[in-house]
Amino acid sequence: AKLVKRRQQKHGFNLDEERRVNELIRECNRCTNHANYALKTLHAKRISLGFALEAFEQSTDDCIKRIKSTKSLKQVDFMQQQRHILRYWFGIFLRLRDGFVLLESGERRHPGDIDSPFCTKSQLALFKSRLAGGFRPDGKTRKYSSEKGYTGASWDEIFDEDVGIKRRLMDALTRLYPVLGSGGGEVIWDNLLNSGGAMWDFAADDLINGLRGLREKIRTIR
């Protein structure tokens, strides 16, 4: 606000221009807070998915042992036991695959796909997903169309090229720089970095590497 006031005094902003600049600054802050929330949530859910895969690996070994132990049964009983075990195994496998979808796009597929354990309902309203507004190049086909919606904390939520947080933040900064000048733009950028932006690249790289390891693990189990 002080920065805008100084630029107003120097360049003679009118009231509409001042409102527009203040709204762009608020948008930068919203994007920063949303990115921090999404990355924090993604880290927690990735760790949770890792624990689930460890349990699934143990369960897979138990299923294999169980199948081997049923070979001495009559053919009808053996086939029935196999179907029961495989139905159980594939049910867990598919649920874990949905866990990857939850991290990547944030699509809700199950009642337990909550947005985040870190925020109240009022805070979650500030971090509502924008993915439903994303369209393919034809301008008509939606890229995201889940009936159950999206969590607002996913990889696509941050990096989607049309409606992602990064895109919205860069658009706001691009519109701010000509108005505030390079000095004013740098002040805004420094404030964003101090608000958590400096850790974004590290957090994103950590998430990419973590997901790569989890994908390899589920392929190995399968």
Task: Render pLDDT for 47-106 as a digit per residue (tens, 0 to 9).
Answer: 999 999 999 999 999 989 888 887 777 777 778 888 899 999 999 999 999 999 999 999
The average pLDDT across 43-49 equals: 92
Q: Average per-residue pLDDT in the chain?
A: 81
Cα–Cα distance measured from residue 167 to residue 175, given in angstroms and rounded to the nearest whole number: 12
> Confidence band (pLDDT; 50, 70, 90) for 1?
very low
Q: Can you read off the two tokens belonging to residue 33?
A: 């807070």
The percentage of residues in the chain with a pLDDT greater than 90, rounded to a whole number, is: 25
Phi, psi of 35 (to 5 degrees): -65, -45
Q: Which is higher by pLDDT, 201 or 95?
A: 95
Of 83 and 196, the structure prediction assigns the larger pLDDT to 83
For 157-166, what is the mean pLDDT? Answer: 90
- For residue 149, the Cα-to-chain-centroid distance in whole angstroms is 13
User: Is the Cα dihedral 177, 193, 156, 217 positive or negative?
Assistant: positive
The Cα angle at residue 58 between residues 55 and 62, in degrees rounded to 5? 135
pLDDT at 4: 47
- pLDDT band, residue 184 (cuts 50/70/90): low
What integer pLDDT is reported at residue 164 of this predicted model? 92
pTM of the entire predicted model: 0.78
Q: Please tell me the distance from the alpha carbon of residue 126 to that of residue 144, in angstroms, as a whole number.
A: 20
Residue 8, pLDDT > 60, answer no
Contacts of 66 (CB under 8 A, 6+ apart): 81, 85
Residues 11, 9: Cα–Cα separation, whole Å: 6
Q: Average pLDDT for residues 180-200, to the nearest whole number?
A: 64
Band of residue 161 on the pLDDT scale cut at 50, 70, 90: confident
Q: Tokens 């920063």 correspond to what residue?
A: 32
CB 1 within 8 A of CB 19: no
Is the per-residue pLDDT at 2 higher than 80?
Answer: no
Find tokens 């964003």 and name the residue: 192
Which helix (H) or strand (E) is 16 found in, with range? Answer: helix 15-69
pLDDT of residue 148: 85
Stretch 185-207: mean pLDDT, rounded?
71
In three-state form (DSSP H/G/I as H, E/B as E, the rest C), the secondary structure along 158-204 is HHCCCCCHHHHHHHHHHHHHHHHHHHHHHHHHHHHHHCCHHHHHHHH
**Angle between helix 75-104 and 15-69 (nearest 10):** 160
Portion of the chain with pLDDT greater than 70, in percent = 78
Query: For residue 183, what pLDDT band results from cuts at 50, 70 and 90?
Result: low
CA torsion 164-169-170-173 (nearest 10°) is: 160
Is residue 6 pLDDT above 80, yes or no? no
Distance CA 49, CA 126 (A): 26
Higher pLDDT, 54 or 197: 54
Residue in 17, 3, 2 with CA at minimum distance from that of residue 185: 3
